[in-house]
Structure 1
Amino acid sequence: MDYTACLQRTLDHIEDHLTERLTAEELAALAGFSLYHFYKVFQSRMGLPVMDYVRRRRLAYAAADLTSGRTLLEIALDYGFETHAGFTKAFRKTYGLTPEQYRLHATGRVPERVDLAKLADYNMTGGMMMRPTILTKPEIKLVGYALETKMNGENFIEIPAFWNTYIEEDRGRRLYEQVKPIKEAEYGACIMLPDKPEHFLYVIGVEVADFEGVPEHLHKAVIPASTYAVFTSPAADRANGAFSDAIQGMTTYVYNEWFPSSGYIYAKGGVDFELYDERSNGDKDLQMDLYVPVEKQTE
């Protein structure tokens, strides 16, 4: 049995009937699986339980509808939410903002359909086609180590090697001993070099309150306050470079697929960065977040 074709048929059905009642039993029958097997296969491939996936897709379309001028209750009822409060709670849990707040960032662009064949090219699961969380963060001060690299593909080789050196030489432990990070998380920030358009600095560092007392051999960088689209990588193991492949696949997807149809552009003067927290520890099912500075595209 071609599981990809079966799941794609189910995903297409979900897209075509988002404003109608959908059940796991109906979707399992459409895929040709028993309900139990369908639950297992769907979550394994898509990264979400099936009805959570349906809810996320409904919210993605509802987010596009926020520019329509209709009331929030009308939008909520269209996508299966019985109350304004229930819609707001689910929306905020997914996007980090209330629908009213998100309206400031909404572009009206309808989400693209999930294409499993395309996602396979990016080493990603279907769940990655969900819209990102949009949030605003204040200025961030980083202290750490910097690598100058080029945007001609060298970065895809040099940055993973830079991380390997960072880990093998236990630089993280020494970094935590020399400065006082605000939280236990590491950043990987891409900082443009105005005098070298094809080059950028990749900084591995931790967030600090200020630069007072920071040793001179450590690199200091400031990430300006910005609005970000935040993407979470699909879970992947560390073995055989799978985690690195997942990160590179997601990053390529964001810039090649998401941006052109998103209604956003890269924010001028912004800095994109990766955030590695407790989800990135260990060897199994690792994840991280990609923060991309964005602003609405103007016609």
Structure 2
Amino acid sequence: MIETLNALVELVEDDLGSDPDVARLATAAGTTEYHVRRMFSSLAGMPLSEYVRRRRMTLAAADLLGDDDLLDIAVRAGYGSTEAFGRAFRSVHGIGPADARRDGGPLRTQPQLRFRLTVEGSTPMDTRIADRPAFRLVGHAARVPLIHRGPNPHIQAHIASLPLSEHVRLKELGDAEPAGILQVSDDVDPDATEGSELTYLHGVALDAGTRVPDDLDAIEVPAGSWAVFRTAGAYPAALQETWAATATDWFPSNPWRLRPGPSIVAVLERADDFSTATTELWLPVGPIGQKEWMGSRSRPVIARM
């Protein structure tokens, strides 16, 4: 995976005016575009699309200090108009292209990323692999923005809008694993871009043959394997730290990769004020090939050159 991520960075550099063909690169490496994008965003701290935009604007800023026509610079950076280029440039540097050409800055540079290996992982992760037949996730769904750190107020508002009787009803309805009331994130942007929308479902798991009440939303989940990470501590901080550690520690050290599908959080125990909780994070996974596994035996970190 480390070789694949570095190859992706080189692919970006080879043609900053075009979007990188991640699917082709992933296929050649024996993995999937979904897994490559999710690992990149987790390890780099930004989605691939944001990294490409920052690199384009870094090189465009250097071009602006020369005598090239503004439209030529915009086209080389992958934009069809100076207006679109100007908006992208301002979003990265905080000033417009004309100001940068006149004043020379201030400019924000995005160095080229380099992924390297270090041997770490001294803290064990409480993990198991669960093979599950097809099942359904059933409950109340809403579209909410993705927030990486801290409580998500949109999810909190959605849960708070449900009467207590509905929580009791859902808990009685559940008849499959993961057990209990579940927090489900589905339809997530593969780059996991903060602020992008996802489907959040507050509900339970049902066997595939169980009838779904007409007033509830349902997500059909095909049969497959799941990596289940158990964590306990401050909520949601401990859960979010575990989620990040799956990318930095667990996936590079185990012969599994993410596959498309919902991620599920089962709350096993919690304080009355929800300040602490014991949870299980369920992530859909599939086995990886020997080539990718042999290249992922140590923990990856980022070296910003």
Superposition TM-score tier, normalisation by shorter sequence? 0.3 to 0.5
Structure with larger Rg: 2
Higher relative contact order (Cα pairs below 8 Å, separated by 6+ residues): 2
Q: Which structure shows the higher strand fraction?
A: 2
